[in-house]
């Protein structure tokens, strides 16, 4: 899948891909009349969330941080939202890829 935006001073293209074994986005800028520049940005959302969660647990357990000070990504609500998405993915896959409404977790 490729996304491309054409502007008055050049074009930006974003493409999903793999580099050095990592999945991510290759972003290429094609400035008008100049050489192109590319950068690769690996996907890191789950890894970052797990790192933040582990740090929050350690800070609460050993450094006296209050649970209310933890990153919002470590909240029970965010965990419930993640589970709702996973459940919808599984339900869809069991139903041959049918559209599934993800449960709304306030």
Note the pLDDT of residue 9: 93
pLDDT digits (tens, 9 = 90+) for 37-84: 999 999 887 888 889 999 999 999 999 999 999 998 888 898 899 899
Predicted TM-score (pTM) of the model is: 0.53
Core vs surface per residue 81-97: b (16+ CB within 10 A) or e: beeeeeeeeeeeeeeee
- The parent domain of residue 25 ranges over 2-42
Under DSSP, the state recorded for 62 is: H
pLDDT digits (tens, 9 = 90+) for 60-72: 999 999 999 999 8
pLDDT higher than threshold 90 for residue 105: no
34 and 52 in a common domain: no
35 and 9 in a common domain: yes
12 and 52 in a common domain: no
Q: How far apart are CA 70 and CA 100, in angstroms?
A: 32
> Strand order of the sheet with strand 37-42?
2-7, 10-19, 22-31, 37-42
If one counts the domains in the chain, the total is: 2
Q: How far apart are CA 97 and CA 40, in angstroms?
A: 30
């Amino acid at each position: 899948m490729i996304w491309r935006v054409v502007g008055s001073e050049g074009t930006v293209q974003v493409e999903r891909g793999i580099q050095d074994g990592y999945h991510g986005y290759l972003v290429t800028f094609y400035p008008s009349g100049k050489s192109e520049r590319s950068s690769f940005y690996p996907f890191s959302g789950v890894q970052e969330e797990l790192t933040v969660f582990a740090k929050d647990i350690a800070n609460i357990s050993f450094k006296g941080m209050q649970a209310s000070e933890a990153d919002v990504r470590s909240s029970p609500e965010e965990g419930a939202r993640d589970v709702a998405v996973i459940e919808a993915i599984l339900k869809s896959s069991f139903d041959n890829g049918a559209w599934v409404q993800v449960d709304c977790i306030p």
